[in-house]
């Protein structure tokens, strides 16, 4: 496992700057790079390039698992081929926080939501984790498939909004919005729970189900699920008819005047 040094910069639009010693490498999602120094060589690969995914069959299997998690077939390896230290930086795809995870401190494994992986030290294995329970898979927000990060190096996960970290004691439970769950240790039990009565479920605004987590283990939550952010953006976007005119509201032109938009 390659040992890397890093620095995270920014507040709501963060990026991680990684310092590579000679012959060190980092693997990242395609398109995540922000900048890199001279002397760093790029290589596009199937899967994650870890020991588990070596060879033709292993590479195809690694690429196939990435399709199931909604990621690209390819990843990019950034290898320092120079004789001096070199830097490469990666930025998050939307406003939020970058979370560094030392997998050695997590027992060598971490379960994360789909699309949250940003980059990691060369050698970290990125695979899939299936939800064992039918209810959690159907209604848990992340479906049956989540990402599994394995190894003993550093991995970087990106989340939307502000991150909240909590350690659950054995038997301690916590109910969270299904879209707010970012990552958890495999020791944490994950299931879903109906929010309550029909009126609460239909008009409470919290959806039909909670994610029910039970310790022991660490969990990470995000304050703003990307789906919620995207929904607000779509709802606020002006609607247009086929003639290209903005409808503004159900009242048409009168609605635009009442809304303060006289264009």
Q: Phi/psi class of residue 13: alpha, beta or left (left: φ > 0; alpha: ψ in -120 to 50)?
A: beta
Among the listed residues 6, 1, 2, 16, the one whose alpha carbon sits nearest the alpha carbon of residue 158: 16
Q: How confident is the model at residue 50, as a pLDDT?
A: 63
Please name which of 167, 119, 93, 135 lies closest in space to residue 18, comparing C-alpha atoms. Answer: 119
> Can you tell me the mean pLDDT for 33-58?
75
How many Å apart are CA 16 and CA 100, to the nearest integer?
9
Does 233 or 198 have the greater pLDDT score?
A: 233
CB atoms within 10 A of CB 117: 25
Give the pair of three-digit tokens for residue 227. Answer: 């789906």
The phi-psi region of residue 108 (left if phi > 0; otherwise alpha if psi is between -120 and 50; otherwise beta) is left
User: Distance between CA 130 and CA 63 in Å, rounded?
Assistant: 16
Which pLDDT value is given to residue 191? 83
Measured at the alpha carbon of residue 125, what is the angle toward residues 121 and 129, in degrees to the nearest 5? 135
Q: How far apart are CA 221 and CA 141, in angstroms?
A: 13
Give the residue-averaged pLDDT of 18-27.
94
DSSP H or E run through 60: helix 55-68
Token pair for residue 238? 């002006």
Q: Percentage of residues in the chain with pLDDT exceeding 70? A: 68
Cα distance between residue 10 and residue 12, in whole Å: 6
The share of the chain scoring above pLDDT 90, in percent, equals 40
Domains delineated in the chain: 5-228 (3.60.160.10)
pLDDT digits (tens, 9 = 90+) for 82-96: 999 999 999 988 888
Higher pLDDT, 98 or 177: 98
- Calculate mean pLDDT across residues 124-133: 73
Q: How confident is the model at residue 225 (pLDDT cuts 50, 70, 90)?
A: confident
Give the span between the Cα atoms of 29 and 98, in whole angstroms.
14
Ranges 31-40, 99-108, 203-212: which has the least confidence: 203-212
Rounded Cα distance between 228 and 161, Å, is 11
Q: How many CB atoms lie within 10 A of CB 35?
A: 11
DSSP-derived secondary structure letter, 247:
-
Token digits of residue 175: 């109910």
Candidates 137, 138, 153, 149; CA nearest to 112 is: 149
Go through 179-201 and write b for each residue having 16 or more CB atoms within 10 A of its CB, e for each that does not.
bbbbbbbeebbbbbeeeeeeeee
Cα 184–Cα 182–Cα 138 angle in degrees, nearest 5: 90
The whole-number average pLDDT for the span 217-238 is: 81
CA distance 14 to 10: 4
CB-count burial class (<10 Å; 0-12, 13-18, 19+) for 151: buried
């Amino acid at each position: 496992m390659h040992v890397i040094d890093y620095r995270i910069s920014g507040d709501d639009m963060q990026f991680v700057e990684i310092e590579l010693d000679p012959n060190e490498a980092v693997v990242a999602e395609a398109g995540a790079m922000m900048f890199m120094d001279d002397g760093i060589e790029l290589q596009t690969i199937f899967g994650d390039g870890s020991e588990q995914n070596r060879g033709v069959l292993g590479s195809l299997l690694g690429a196939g698992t990435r399709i199931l998690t909604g990621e690209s077939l390819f990843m990019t390896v950034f290898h320092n081929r120079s004789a001096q230290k070199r830097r490469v930086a990666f930025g998050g795809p939307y406003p939020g926080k970058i979370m560094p995870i030392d997998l050695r401190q997590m027992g060598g494994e971490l379960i994360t939501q789909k699309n949250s992986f940003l980059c990691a030290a060369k050698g970290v294995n990125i695979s899939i984790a299936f939800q064992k329970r039918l209810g959690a898979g159907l209604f848990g927000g992340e479906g049956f498939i989540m990402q599994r990060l394995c190894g003993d190096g550093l991995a970087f996960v990106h989340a939307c909004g502000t991150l909240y970290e909590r350690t659950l004691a054995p038997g301690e439970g916590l109910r969270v919005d299904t879209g707010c769950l970012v990552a958890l240790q495999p020791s944490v039990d994950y299931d879903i729970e109906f929010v309550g009565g029909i009126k609460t479920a239909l008009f409470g605004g919290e959806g039909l189900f909670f994610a029910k987590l039970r310790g022991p283990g660490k969990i990470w939550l995000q304050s703003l699920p990307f789906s919620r952010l995207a929904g607000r953006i779509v709802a606020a976007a002006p609607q247009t008819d086929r003639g290209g005119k903005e409808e503004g509201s159900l009242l048409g032109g009168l609605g635009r005047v009442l809304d303060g938009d006289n264009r």
